[in-house]
């Protein structure tokens, strides 16, 4: 299976029990080099077990991060699809509106001329209405009519020059 499957049980510390074993005179007690080798092996195994535990923790953190990233990506995909639909709707609306005024569409010049003439008349009507509204506001609030004052001054200058 996996590389660390055999070491999995080594990461868990087992309760140590002491058992009094009588010294067997046939087996000599371990020498100092054997004891140092055993202590080195146990230190090495403990270090490996600690490192494996740290790696397992990191892997679990990475799993959580990866799941969060997947969720975020799926949400972004959904939002992108909604944006695509909205753009399609706006483009189709634009095409519907601009179809009347698009010079590249199959429209005769007379029809375009009529439309522009109507628009020009509407703009002129708006300009007149704005001019009248400004004059009415000037009269209501008693503001001097600057245009009349300027024409009077120009008229006086003309009469003085003659």
pTM higher than 0.85: no
pLDDT band at 141 (very low <50, low <70, confident <90, very high): confident
Across the chain, what does the average pLDDT equal? Answer: 77
Cα-only R_g, the chain: 47
Q: Which of 6, 10, 2 is nearest to 48 (CA)?
A: 10
Tell me the C-alpha to C-alpha distance, in Å, between residue 49 and each of 10, 39, 85. Answer: 7, 15, 54
Percent of the chain whose pLDDT exceeds 70: 67
Measured between alpha carbons, how far is 88 from 80 in angstroms, rounded to an integer? 12
Residue 51: the pLDDT is 95
Residue 52: the pLDDT is 95
Cβ(100)–Cβ(106) below 8 Å:
no
Residue 137: the pLDDT is 80
The tens digit of pLDDT for each residue in 101-139 reads: 665 655 556 777 788 888 999 999 999 998 888 888 877
The tens digit of pLDDT for each residue in 54-65 reads: 999 999 999 999
pLDDT band at 1 (very low <50, low <70, confident <90, very high): very low
Residue 108: the pLDDT is 59
Domain ranges in the chain are 32-98, 103-154
Residue 136: the pLDDT is 82
Measured between alpha carbons, how far is 71 from 115 in angstroms, rounded to an integer? 53
Q: Which of 120, 104, 103 is nearest to 112 (CA)?
A: 103
- Give mean pLDDT, residues 141-158: 78
Measured between alpha carbons, how far is 32 from 45 in angstroms, rounded to an integer? 20
Sign, CA dihedral 120-122-123-125, equals: positive
The tens digit of pLDDT for each residue in 66-89 reads: 999 999 999 999 999 999 998 888
138 or 26: which leads in pLDDT: 138
Cβ(52)–Cβ(4) below 8 Å:
yes
């Amino acid at each position: 299976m996996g590389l660390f499957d055999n070491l999995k049980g080594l990461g868990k510390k087992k309760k140590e029990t002491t058992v009094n074993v009588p010294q067997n005179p046939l087996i000599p007690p371990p020498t100092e080099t054997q004891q140092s080798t055993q202590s080195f092996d146990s230190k090495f195994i403990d270090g490996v077990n600690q490192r494996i535990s740290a790696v397992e923790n990191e892997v679990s953190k990475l799993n959580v991060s990866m799941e969060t990233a997947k969720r975020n990506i799926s949400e972004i995909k959904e939002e992108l699809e909604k944006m695509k639909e909205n753009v399609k709707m706006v483009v189709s609306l634009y095409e519907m509106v601009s179809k009347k005024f698009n010079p590249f569409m199959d429209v005769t010049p007379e029809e375009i001329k009529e439309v522009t003439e109507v628009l020009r008349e509407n703009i002129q009507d708006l300009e007149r209405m704005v001019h009248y509204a400004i004059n009415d506001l000037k009269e209501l609030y008693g503001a001097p009519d600057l245009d009349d004052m300027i024409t009077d001054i120009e008229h006086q200058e003309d009469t003085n020059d003659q």
